[in-house]
Amino acid sequence: MIHPKALLDLLYEQEIEFFTGVPDSQLREFCDYLTQTLGISNQHIVAPNEGNAVALAAGYHLATGKIGMVYMQNSGLGNAVNPMTSLVDPKVYAIPLVYMIGWRGMPGIHDEPQHVKQGEITIDLLNLLGIHSILLSKESTIEEVATSFQQTLLPALKEGKSVAFVVKKGAFESVTKYHHKVSSTLSRERAIELILQNTEEQDAIVSTTGKISREVYEQREFHQQGHNKDFLTVGAMGHSSMIALQIAEQKPQRRIWSLDGDGAMLMHTGALALIGSRQPSNFIHVLLNNYVHESVGSIPTVAESINFLEIAKACGYQAVYQVQDEATLIQTIQHIKTELGPILIQVNVSNGSREDLGRPKTSPIQNKTDFMQFLKGSR
Ligand SMILES: Cc1ncc(C[n+]2csc(CCOP(=O)(O)OP(=O)(O)O)c2C)c(N)n1
């Protein structure tokens, strides 16, 4: 195992002192240590998406001549491939970067369905991208990592190529957990429970990636309601509101609830502009805002420094609401029953979740089949 400090020291020796990315649970110790040591600063920026992080590190290099590090879960490679191939690649600007990539869905290790394909192709994809990588695992020592870094990664960086640390589960020693304080006392799961219990028979739910979808699933189990009204966007972070938008347009007689997180909404904020421009009157966007990427730790998003309500209004949403207690949430849900969308309800929720939160037991295909059957019922 490697202590995050030892790895950071190794990077500092090479003057790698700029860090940006989107957090991952498999990189939790590293991200926590980084945030504790550097805060959110001009040395450490949490990017809206992984492609943005690559571009930030490219800008850093242009301005300083130095190399930056981009951290991400391997699912973020999808967001990053475009700037990796058409910006920093040696065939374009040859801007060297060091990636740190959490390897979910590693073949041979059980993981959730959304990680399986990406896990299978991660190493091949890095090879295709021409990125030299070294594996960090439970068995790794910092001495070995330092040697491989010197022997294989450093020469590639000097040629303008990018390199990667690919991180298996348990590679990092534990550190003090970073916790970002949020003032709300309403839990995200309770807010989800209240929403699900106050929707109408024909309403459909599309929930975002991470614990929001897990909590939707658990609340349906708890209330013995079945899962056919909910589409759980288990992967494709940041895209669930677009799934919801098209369902709303194709099923105008139903109300469609898009349950989003602040991290997900920031990842692809252009979605708000499209929702506003399409004007679906049956679309209710719920932002469960805890100001952090809670599903993978407690690293903050930039949600605290922006106003989602104003953004939604400017994009053309018909009405926007902000709530932070149970009574107001219920009142708002009742109130909007006669209102036309698109509507945004920002629910300020606390930062945290149940230790024993489960994972969906139905497969994604089963979820899709049941949900489509439910939607068939009426327009
Ligand atoms: C493209 C991509 N990057 C990163 C992840 C890892 N990931 C899963 S959930 C999550 C955090 C989501 O944060 P937010 O939308 O604010 O919801 P919260 O967990 O705080 O409720 C992250 C970073 C992912 N699944 N996909």
How many Cβ atoms are within 10 Å of 49's Cβ, its own excluded? 23
Residue 3 Cα, ligand 1 centroid: separation in angstroms?
Answer: 24
Which residue's entry shows tokens 């990539």? 101
Amino acid at 34: L
Residue located nearest, by CA, to atom 18 of ligand 1: 294
Residue located nearest, by CA, to atom 17 of ligand 1: 261
Mutate which of 180, 192, 295 for ligand 1 pocket (most atoms within 8 A of beta carbon): 295
The helix/strand/coil state of 75 is: helix
295 CB near ligand 1 (under 6 Å): yes
Residue 264 has pLDDT above 90, yes or no: yes
Domain 188-376 falls under CATH 3.40.50.970? yes
Compute the average pLDDT of residues 116-137.
Answer: 98
Using pLDDT thresholds of 50, 70 and 90, give the confidence band for residue 10. Answer: very high
pLDDT at position 269: 98
pLDDT at position 265: 98
Residue 377 has pLDDT above 90, yes or no: no
Token representation of residue 42: 């001009």
Q: What gap in Å lies between CA 327 and CA 378, rounded to an integer?
A: 32
pLDDT at position 363: 97
Regarding the domain delimited by 4-167, which CATH topology (the fold level of the hierarchy) does it fall under? Rossmann fold (3.40.50)
Which residues have C-beta within 8 Å of that of residue 303, sequence separation ≥ 6? 262, 263, 266, 289, 291
Tell me the sheet residues that pair with 287.
260, 346
pLDDT at position 280: 98
What are φ and ψ of residue 313, in 5° steps? -60, -45
Residue 375 Cα, ligand 1 centroid: separation in angstroms?
Answer: 27
Concatenating the DSSP letter of every residue in 198-227 gives: TS-TT-EEEE-TTHHHHHHHHHHHHTT--S
Tell me the sheet residues that pair with 276.
none
Q: In whole numbers, what is the pLDDT of the chain averaged over residues?
A: 97
Residue located nearest, by CA, to atom 3 of ligand 1: 76
Using pLDDT thresholds of 50, 70 and 90, give the confidence band for residue 360. Answer: very high
pLDDT at position 179: 94
Q: How far is CA 35 from CA 30, 40, 42, 193, in A?
A: 9, 6, 12, 32
Residue located nearest, by CA, to atom 12 of ligand 1: 293
Token representation of residue 208: 């975002």
Extents of the domains making up the chain: 4-167, 188-376
What are φ and ψ of residue 346, in 5° steps? -90, 120
Rg of the chain (C-alpha set): 21
**188-376: same fold as 4-167?**
yes
> Per residue in 165-208, pLDDT tens?
999 999 999 999 999 999 999 999 999 999 999 999 999 999 99
Full-model pTM: 0.98
Residue 151 Cα, ligand 1 centroid: separation in angstroms?
Answer: 34
Q: What gap in Å lies between CA 72 and CA 49, rounded to an integer?
A: 9
294 CB near ligand 1 (under 6 Å): yes
Residue 2 has pLDDT above 90, yes or no: yes
Residue 307 Cα, ligand 1 centroid: separation in angstroms?
Answer: 20
> Per residue in 280-327, pLDDT tens?
999 999 999 999 999 999 999 999 999 999 999 999 999 999 999 999
Residue 332 falls in which region: left (phi positive, over 0), alpha (psi -120 to 50) or beta: alpha
Sheet containing strand 230-232, strands side by side: 230-232, 204-207, 256-261, 283-289, 343-348, 319-323
Q: How many Cα atoms sit within 13 Å of 317 on the Cβ side?
A: 23
Q: What share of the chain is helix, strand, coil (3-state, %, to 5)?
A: 45, 15, 35
Mutate which of 20, 22, 116, 287 for ligand 1 pocket (most atoms within 8 A of beta carbon): 22
Percent of the chain with pLDDT over 70: 100
> Per residue in 24-77, pLDDT tens?
999 999 999 999 999 999 999 999 999 999 999 999 999 999 999 999 999 999
pLDDT at position 218: 98
Tell me the sheet residues that pair with 45.
20
Compute the average pLDDT of residues 128-132.
Answer: 97
pLDDT at position 378: 79
264 CB near ligand 1 (under 6 Å): yes
Give the position, in ligand 1's atom list, of the atom nearest the Cα of 78: 1
Using pLDDT thresholds of 50, 70 and 90, give the confidence band for residue 379. Answer: confident
Compute the average pLDDT of residues 119-136.
Answer: 97
